[in-house]
Structure formats: structure tokens, C-alpha cells
A and B are shown apart, each in its own frame.
Chain A
Amino acid sequence: MLVQLASMRDAYAEVLLELGQEDSRVVVLGADTSVSIKTSLFGDRFPDRFFNVGIAEANMMGIAAGLALAGKIPFVTTYAAFVPGKCLDQIRNAIAYPNLNVKIVSSHGGLTVGPDGASHQTIEDVATMRAVPRMHVIVPADAPSTRSLVAQACRTLGPFYIRLSRPSVPTIYSASKDVEVGKAKILREGSDIGIIACGIMVNEAMEAAETLSKTGISAEVVDSHTVKPLDSETIVRVARKTGTLVTAEEQNVIGGLGGAVAEAITESYPVPITRVGVRDTFGESGEHEELMVKYGLTSKEIARAAKHLIKSR
């Protein structure tokens, strides 16, 4: 099978241009990372609506709040290592508390930023942003769904955090497969186990399901791109159908998608669950594939967890 790779960053930069064209309220802020993330393309096209504030993330969030208060739709973008890390106070008090229409899109999330090492890897942003009231948290799986989810965020009032990963990833969504903010997408039907994933781990989940099918295990794969508000209804339905769940994310297993899913099923239909993700440890330098193997972010790890759960049922 031919696997098509595409970059979420490129998709983001492209959709920003479209959004900027169709809505003059769209403005973009950068913090000295806009060439790398390619939001500078927006700046080239719409120079009066692009603001590079330098290496000053806190100020960037505050300025975005002011722009939103004056009717703009600010897209704020830098590396996930610094957002929300360097500006949580501004995100909480200046953006989420007054429910402002600011779209925070971070790039280079998770471990797969690679050789830069632990200081530039982000494993706690999803958990942090989930805990902020009024914040939507989205982790897209591929380039086409990034396009669609960013465009929907632009058209939905309120604060959003959208987290993108650095590597080019296999394309999962074709134009015909729609993706909707707040609705988990069942990508593959199955009956023995449910795999709930987000971000680049959705592809790993699909591969794991394929592997499992060869050993006679039928896995249902769900892309839970919207980590908050979580589509609990779909997730509980999958739990009822399959009786056991594996979650998979490029994040610390504490408080991210795994945490959200565990909370949801514990309240309505508890089933055994294994969370695949970074096991509460910092990363290190390395190529992204090497890091994924070393820190257990692979289809193999998901399949292993699934088999173990089914065996001990």
C-alpha cells in the first residue's frame, strides 16, 4: 500500500491563508518561530495582519487577548514547548476566563521534535490545557484533519488549543471522511477491543489494529482528536461494545487523552483500560522514530497492550 506523508504544519499554513482570505478578522501572531512553522506565509500575504512579537510568549498571549477583545480572530502560534509552558497565566486569565476568541496552535508537540531533546519536547501541554475551563483541546491526526479542524475552530467562538506534531505523518483522512470538532471518529470497526488515540498515534493505532486482526483480534479504532470537550458518548459506546480499551497519545499518560478517557468511562461504564503514552518521564535527544520506539509510542506497544488486556479479561 502506498503511504502518503504530509506535514501538519504545511496544512496549517495553507488553511490559514484561506481563512485570512475569506475573513478579514483573522490575524496571526508569531514569536520568532514563524519561518519554521510557516505562518510567515500569512505574513507575506497579509503583512498588516501579521505580528511577530519576538521571543516573548507571555506578551504574545496578552496581545492576542486585546486583539480578540477588539473583534479580531487571532491565531497564536509557536512551539508547543513554550505554549502553554511560558504563558499559562496569560492563557488562563486573559483568554480563557473572559472566553475570548483566540486560537492557540502549537507546533512541534510531543517527543517527535527529536534531536532538540527534553527541553524542547512537550509531554504535558494537553493535560495542562485540559484543566483550563472553557478551553477546547484538539490534537489532529494528519494534514487533512488539521486543515478541517483549524477551519472549524476559526468559525467556533471561544478559546482553542490545537496541538500539531513535527514529523510528516501518513494521511488518514481523505476528503470524503469528514471530521468534526467534538465528535470522535470511528476509523475502523471492531468488537474485541477499542483503541482510542489522538495525534500521530492514530496511525499507530490503525497499524496495531491491522496486526491484531492477523491474530484474530478485532479492534475498533477511534480518532479522539477533540480531547476536550471529550466525546464521552462515543467512547462509552465503544467501551460497552468491546469491553476493554487502550488509549494512545504522544503525551504523558497523566492527564491527557488517557486520563480523559479513564475519567469518562469510570463515571459511566468502567472497563479495564491501558494508557499508551510517555510513562511520566522526560524525553531525550534522538531521531523521532528512535524516540517513539524507546518511549513506547508505537503500534507494537499498542498491540501488546491490547493482547495483554484481552488475555487477562
Chain B
Amino acid sequence: MEEQSIPIGMLLQKAAKIRAHILEMVAEAKSGHPGGSLSAVEILVTLFFYKMRHDPKRPDWPDRDRFVLSKGHAAPVLYSTLAEAGYLPTSELKTLRKINSRLQGHPDHRVPGVEFPGGSLGIGLSAAIGMALAGKVDKKDYRVYALLGDGELDEGETWEAAMAAPKFKLDNLTAIVDRNGIQQDGLTEQIMPMEPVGYKWKAFNWHVLEVDGFDFRQVIDALEKAESMRNRPTVIIAHTVKGKGVSFMEWDPAYHGKAPDKDTVRKLVKTMLEE
């Protein structure tokens, strides 16, 4: 890895802006899922502003890398990232969840840059497999990334997909698990224990990596290891914190699907962008 070439400053700045967008848009909508959006910020920033081959001017470019947000409830982080990348105006973000808006509560295919309408949990990895298979059939070198929630791993289809990807030798596929430890009803280890998560994927014949999901260097390093792996898909277990960046939201399951009020957000955003 070439340390010098990683523009950490730019990535940090993007992350701060995207966190601010997330808070502002869910406050404006008075609903939405801030917790699981905030935990995934650095992962999306790394993909969209460093790793992926994509062009906001050509969202349907056949050779683009693809990002599937399987944990579709984190739509605010996806829309904010796409807006920062230039797929849609940042001014549109405040229409989230409002009538006649493109920005549906869960990712909608009509929004440029949205590859898949995730939302009903468990489907995204399967869809990513389909895209990766098509890439193999067409002998294209694009890569497919799928971001899964850790609560989402409760879904049986995830494991159907986990069995299938190694069978098809999909080394062009990288799954990332946002391991923030919390699902809607509480801690994942209380609701449906899933540890040892890494070993489960290993047993399904995946190339498994574990990283701190907020450390750009670690995330980049893992994505590059995934890219150089041959004949096997990679899963990156990204250890994160739900509600990251907002002290009272961190580790609080209540903020899985609850919006903070506008006044609080105004103060939070001011501090965030100053830092």
C-alpha cells in the first residue's frame, strides 16, 4: 500500500460533511435511520472517494464498479454520499421521505447511482452475486461491493448467498459487514447471537478480513487485499459503532430508527464541521 497516495484529509472532510447531511436530512424528515447510517460513513467514503471506479456523469456506465446497499435502511448515508460525489444536488437531500421526492425512505432505483433497491433485508448480497456473475460472463473487470448490516445476517437468504458466491468463484465480489453490534430490538448478541461472525464466513469458504471500520487506512488495505485475492470472494467485517460521531446516539439502540430534533442537529453539525 502506498501510504503517500491516500488523501486522508479529503476523506476525513467528506466523512464530516456526510455525517452532517445525514443528521440534517433525518431531522428534516423527522424519521429515518441515523444510527446505521452514521456507522457506515467511512466505508462509503472510502469506496466512493478512493476505491471505486465510477463516474457521476455516467451512472449507467457498463464498466463501473457497483455498490449495493443491502442494509437499505441506511439510505441517508447512501444519498448523502451520492450527493457529495455529484450524482444529485445536495439541496435535494432535504426532500428525504417526503411525498413526490426521489429520495424514498429506502433506496430507490430512480436515484442515479443507486444500484439496487435494498430495504427488505437479506436480498442485497444475492443481487450483488448476480452483478458479479454478469461481470464474469461478460469478461468485464468491474468489481461489486455489497454492504450488509450485522442484524441482517439473521436472514437466511444471506447464508444462501454466502454459500453461492464461493461456488461461482466470485473474486470480483466484496461483501462488507457493518458490525455495529446493534439491531432494532437491541444488541445483536442478545437478539440473535452471531459470533463468531468471521468464522461463519470462513466456514462458507470466504476470504475473511476484519478491520476497524472508521480507520481509512485499514479499510483501504482490506479492499486492496480483496482485489488481489483470486477465485474467492472476500468479506470484510468492519467493526463500527452505531450512531458514530454523536455522543448520545452511540451504542443506543433507540437511534436505529429515530430522528434527533432540528435544534440539536444544528448544534451538532456546527461542531462537526468546525472540527
Contacts and interface: CB of A to CB of B under 8 A. Distances in A.
Interface string A257-277: 000000000000000000000
A27 B137 contact: yes
12 contacts: A56-B160, A58-B157, A62-B123, A62-B127, A63-B133, A66-B129, A66-B130, A66-B131, A71-B134, A74-B130, A93-B120, A97-B117
B163 A62 contact: no
A64 B130 contact: yes
Nearest to A89: B120
A52 to B, nearest CB: 9
B42 interface: no
Given A54-B164, A69-B116, 4 more contacts: A49-B137, A53-B160, A59-B126, A98-B116
A19 B13 CA distance: 51
B115 interface: yes
Contacts of B115: 69
A69 B163 CA distance: 21
Interface string B144-156: 0000000000001
B166 to A, nearest CB: 12
A58 B160 contact: yes
A67 B117 contact: no
B243 interface: no
Given A70-B131, A90-B126, A94-B117, A63 B157 contact: no
B119 A93 contact: yes
A225 B62 CA distance: 36
Given A48-B137, A94-B123, A69 B160 contact: no
The 4 closest A-B pairs by CB, nearest first: A66-B130, A62-B126, A70-B134, A59-B160
A72 B161 contact: no
Nearest to A61: B126
Contact of B127 (A27, A51, A56, A94): A94
B209 interface: no
Interface residues of A, number: 30
Contacts of A15: none
Interface in A59-111: 59-72, 74, 89-90, 92-94, 97-98
B131 to A, nearest CB: 4
Given A66-B116, A93-B120, A51 B133 contact: yes
Task: Place the interface of chain B in its size category.
Answer: 20 to 34
Given A54-B164, A69-B127, A89-B123, A94 B133 contact: no
Contact of A54 (B123, B127, B163): B163
A235 to B, nearest CB: 33
Chain A at the B interface: SS class = helix
A189 B138 CA distance: 50
Given A49-B137, A71-B134, A66 B128 contact: yes
Nearest to A52: B167
A59 B131 contact: no
Contact of B135 (A48, A51, A62, A70): A70
A282 B88 CA distance: 52
Nearest to B126: A62
Given A66-B116, A69-B127, A90-B123, A59 B137 contact: no
B62 A66 contact: no
B125 interface: yes
A66 B133 contact: yes
Contacts of A72: 130, 134, 137
Nearest to A72: B134
Nearest to A100: B109
Contacts of B124: 62
B137 A62 contact: no
B41 interface: no
A62 B134 contact: no
Given A27-B137, A53-B164, A63 B130 contact: yes
A37 B157 CA distance: 24
Given A66-B131, A93-B117, A97-B117, A58 B126 contact: yes
